[in-house]
Amino acid sequence: MTAIPAQEQLAARADAAPLPRRKGRAGRLEWLAVHAVFLVVCAFFLVPFLWLLSAAFDAKAKAYIAFPAQPTIMNFVRIFTDYDFGRVLLNSVFVSVATMILVVFTVALAGYSLSRIDLRRKDWVMYGVLLLQTMPIAATMVPIYGLARQLGLRNSYLGLILVHAAIELPFLIWLMKNFFDSIPRHLEEAAWLDGRSRFRALVEIVLPLARPGLGIAAGLAFLSAWAEVLMVVILIDQDSLKTVPLAFYQAMRTQGGYTEVQYGVIAAMAIIYLLPVMVVFFASRRLMVRGLIGSTRGL
Amino acid sequence: MATTAVAANARRRSLRRNRLYLAGLTPAAFLLALFFVGPALWALASSFTNRALVGLDAANPRFVGLDNYIRLFSDPDFGRVILNSVVFVIGSAIIGQFVLGLLLALLLDHAQRRGFLATSLVYASVLLAWVNPTIIAGFLWVAMFDYYNGSLNSGLQLLGIGPVNWLGQGPMLAIVIANTWRGTAFVMLIFLGALRTIPTDIYEAARVDGAGPFRRFWDHTLPLLRPIAALTLLSVTIATFGTFILIQALTNGGPALQTEVIALYAYHEAFQNHAVGYGSTIAVVMLALNFAFAAVFLRWSRPRV
């Protein structure tokens, strides 16, 4: 769901005015109190990840944190030999990149067109688009399964790419429309007078100015296609089409019961699953924070 | 005469241009129709049938009128499910994510202004829990909550508490903790952004007037945060209402329906009991509740469109 005003405030981000450091006993006490709280907060948020790291490199990983008694990379080797992870990774990269390209193309066209079109009740169209963004995937999961089965979109790359392209679309259309609204029309009109076609004017003059928006769209589309699991679970049951989220989901759910849980192997999978997310996110944190805040909804 | 001709000409040109723009909207409209509007209508249509996943009713669903809705509202499990959803939203979205997120934002904003270096580490660790895929969050907390070996019980035993059978005896508390861990960053980010926009001279003036830190927070910070707080609250409520994969990974609604929320109930009816018509009915109710929240949200926020 979108928190629109907040997004603008984040974008405005007037820099926080520094406070003078307190001197003496009061200052030391404050430092101590703040850092004690920091320690608790960090423990809460980081311990699960520290465990993940220790388990992935431990031959006998258990559910508790311990420095690996037998440090090993065998867990990573095993997911490729026992779980055919090479194929899985390739599928995931293909689906995510294809989704990203489709989304950038679609939202650039749609955002630009919505920004420039003359409609009597354009604001209602925009409210409608925002309303779609609030629809939880969990609620449409059953009907999407039924529809995809009737349309023959199950067990195909095309179905996966289309559904992943659609998931963040309402928010991204809204975002891109606002980006294009801020680009004055006379720029492209001048290009038309120069004899450029409508399409060339859009590609050469307008799109370069909308680059931050296109960056958010590309990053968010890639992240969501890479990470999203529900749609993959209901659309794919052929092993040759499996992507990383599905492989992880299956590995996790078939464990337990009477067999000992292979925490090490699943943790290794989780790390490979997590790595691109962290790279994309922390490489362009400000854009991605903006994108993720706007598109947040339950998964 | 000349002016009307020019006007007619301009209108014709703008109509022609509008047709181009309409063409530009078609790919997006196609995708939205296929995966948002279509499924919603499909659910609505199926909710009036006895559509099933397998068997005779799968091929030829029969129209059953309002039977599914009558069954749903007399289903004792459904009351339980709604109650669970409400408890989960209040626990993890309002008490957990919202309160913790607000407190963290206030703390980090203050620490940053004081120039404490550890601030960005804390900020990054809260964010990390938020950006990782939900199913990984589920896996991490399955391990954390493990009865015999989990890090949580190991830690508690050092303090002389436990072991606690998290997923068996306190499953609702467990999923509330896991979802708080996952979603706090969203609230924190929004309030951090909001706090930065509060002009600092207000505080200077209040300090000169002799107002203590608590007074300054109560009189100046809080009123300025209130409009954004209402929206954020609604936003996390809507997001938490749709939580599915995290709960499925941790408890799958169990034990004995103790953590079965509405999204899981629709899924279990459709895919485990093969009752697609009934599952669709639950999905329709869920969508209706969601749109009610969303309509309030749009009214309050009046986004610039």
Distance from CA of B45 to the nearest CA of A (A): 10
In a domain, B108, yes or no: yes
* Tokens representing residue A241 in the block: 């089409």
Query: What percent of chain A has a predicted confidence (pLDDT) above 70?
Result: 89
Residue-level pLDDT at A13:
40
Written as one letter, the residue type at A87 is R
Query: Which residue of chain A has the CA closest to B184?
Result: A45
User: What tokens were used for A188?
Assistant: 């492209």
Residue B101 placed within a domain: yes
If pLDDT is split at 50, 70 and 90, which confidence band does B65 have?
confident
For residues B78 and B71, what is the distance between their CA atoms, to the nearest angstrom?
Answer: 10
Looking at residue B172, which CATH number applies to its domain?
1.10.3720.10
Same domain, B130 and B245: yes
Q: Hey, is B91 helix, strand or coil?
A: helix
- Distance, in angstroms, between A56 CA and closest chain B CA? 12
Minimum distance, in Å, between the CA of residue A3 and any CA atom of chain B = 7
d(CA A33, CA A119): 57
Residue B61 within a domain:
no
Residues on chain B touching A35 (C-beta within 8 angstroms): 116, 118
Q: Are B26 and B171 part of one and the same domain? A: no
pLDDT at residue B2 above 70? Answer: no
Task: Examine the domain organization and report whether B166 and B198 are in the same domain.
Answer: yes
B59 occurs within a structural domain: no
Chain A, window 55-74: residues with a beta carbon less than 8 angstroms from a chain B beta carbon: 55, 62-65
The rounded Cα A263 to chain-centroid distance in angstroms is 25
Q: CATH assignment of A84-295?
A: 1.10.3720.10
Phi and psi at residue A58, to the nearest 5°: -115, 130
Band the pLDDT of A297: cuts 50, 70, 90: low
**Average pLDDT in the B47-73 region?**
84
Angle at A96 between CA A92 and CA A98, to 5 degrees: 120
Please judge whether B40 and A48 are an interchain contact, meaning their C-beta atoms are less than 8 angstroms apart.
Answer: no
Instruction: Tell which wins on pLDDT, B220 or B4.
Output: B220
More confident position, B9 or A180:
A180
Q: What's residue B44's pLDDT?
A: 94
Residue with more model confidence, A92 or A64? A92
Rounded Cα gap, residues A218 and A220, in angstroms? 6
* Per-residue pLDDT tens digits for A231-272: 999 999 998 999 999 999 998 887 655 556 788 889 999 999
Shared-domain flag, residues B28 and B148: no
- Between A32 and B158, the more confident residue is A32
- Ramachandran class of A84: left when φ > 0, alpha when ψ lies in -120 to 50, beta otherwise: left
Same domain for B109 and B15 = no
**Alpha-carbon dihedral A104, A194, B5, B13, rounded to 10 degrees:** -20
pLDDT > 70 fraction of chain B, expressed in percent and rounded:
97
Residue (of B30, B249, B235, B103) closest to A292 by Cα position: B235
Lowest-confidence range among A205-209, B7-11, B211-215, B286-290?
B7-11
Pairwise pLDDT comparison (B57 vs A146), residue with the higher score: A146
Q: What tens digit of pLDDT does each residue of A268-277 get?
A: 999 999 999 9
Highest mean pLDDT among A10-19, B140-149, B196-205: B140-149
**What is the three-class DSSP state of A58?**
strand
B109: closest CA of chain A, how far (Å) = 8
Could you tell me if A293 lies within 8 Å of chain B, comparing CB atoms? yes
Q: Is the minimum CB–CB distance between A283 and chain B shorter than 8 Å? A: no
Residue A290 has pLDDT above 80, yes or no: no
**Spatial distance between the Cα atoms of A123 and A138, rounded to a whole number of angstroms:** 28
What pLDDT score does A3 carry?
A: 39
ipTM: 0.87
Range of the domain at B116: 70-301
**With contacts defined as CB-CB under 8 Å, which chain A residues touch B196?**
9, 12-16
Are B230 and B158 members of one domain?
A: yes
On whether any CB of chain B is under 8 Å from the CB of A279, the answer is: no
Range from A278-292, B62-76, B132-146 carrying the lowest mean pLDDT: A278-292
A27 touches chain B (CB under 8 A): no
Q: How far apart are CA A98 and CA A156, in angstroms?
A: 13
Half-sphere CA count of B51, side-chain side, radius 13 A: 20
Minimum-distance CB partner of A136 among B132, B138, B263? B263
Residue B58 resides in a domain: no
pLDDT at A10 over 60: no
Q: The tokens 């203050």 sit on which residue?
A: B110
Tell whether B248 and B196 lie within a shared domain.
yes
Q: What is the pLDDT of residue A256?
A: 54
Among A22-31, A43-52, B90-99, B169-178, the range scoring the smallest mean pLDDT is: A22-31
Whether residue B171 is found in the same domain as residue B237: yes
CB-CB neighbors (< 8 A) of B47 in chain A: none
What is the number of structural domains in chain B?
2
Mean pLDDT (whole number) for B183-207: 84
Q: Which of B129, B136, B243 sits opposite A45 (nearest CB)?
A: B129
For residues B289-294, give the mean pLDDT: 90
One domain for residues B89 and B228: yes
Residues of chain B numbered 103-132 and touching chain A (CB < 8 Å): 104, 107, 109-116, 118, 121-122, 125-132
Tell me the C-alpha distance between B264 and B128, whole Å.
26
Average pLDDT of the segment spanning A198-212: 88
- Between CA B117 and CA A221 the distance in angstroms is 33
| CA B297-B253-A142 angle, 5° bins | 65
**Given this model, what pLDDT does residue A2 score?**
40
Question: What letter represents residue B8's amino acid?
Answer: A
Residue B177 or residue A9, greater confidence: B177
Q: Return the pLDDT at B304.
A: 60
Is B11 inside any structural domain? Answer: yes
Is the pLDDT higher at B61 or at A207? A207
Question: Domain check: are B42 and B74 in the same one?
Answer: no
Residues of chain A with pLDDT > 90, as a percent, come to 42
Cα→Cα distances B31→A1, A138, A216, B76, Å: 19, 18, 19, 38
- As separate numbers, helices (DSSP H) first and strands (DSSP E) second, chain B gives 17, 0
Are B175 and B37 part of one and the same domain? no
pTM metric for this prediction: 0.88
